[in-house]
Amino acid sequence: MESLIKLVSDLQTKIKQVKFQDLPQTVQKQYGKIENLDLNELVSVNWNELPENIKNYVKENPKQTAFYVMNGIVFFAPSLVWSPILAIAGFTGIGPAASSIASFAQSFFHPVVQKSAFAIFQSAQMGGYGVGLMNAGVRTYCAISSVGCYFGGCSNEEDKGELEDEAK
């Protein structure tokens, strides 16, 4: 449980350190002016105000709880997942980066066909039509994984074993 609290605290600290004006224009455009947002209200929950059954679930299933929390964050801000991955692959806001996977793919699949995966990835990084498609893909994955976990796809046996070990 302490590790989950530390994770949330670290996340709050890192979010507060982000300087909105230093982010790329595409990110600023997509998320609007969030610099005046009260981050304590956004990423914190008063433990004492939670119903007892919720507290028990969190204590008994810390990993599943973390999974649901992260899934919720990713669902509402999917570009936190796809944008860094595309950037690592070499897709930038001004085109494929030199000597990257993206530039190799562009030379291999030249000419790039409209609405192809390459075109969608590049469009997403440039803030075009690909943003909606990438967001929809990530949100669909979040929804499917959450539903699958809810209906028994996630095992909490490890969580229970760790709790028993901590209790000893």
Total-model pTM: 0.58
- Asked whether the predicted pLDDT for residue 72 surpasses 70, the reply is yes
Task: Note the pLDDT of residue 102.
Answer: 85
H helix or E strand, kind and range, residue 91: strand 91-92
Q: Where are the alpha helices (DSSP H) in the chain?
A: 2-17, 25-31, 39-43, 52-60, 62-76, 79-89, 101-108, 117-125, 130-148, 157-167
Give the model confidence (pLDDT) of 24-45 as tens digits. 666 666 555 455 555 555 556 6
Per the model's pLDDT, the better-predicted residue between 81 and 165 turns out to be 81
Three-class SS state of 47: helix
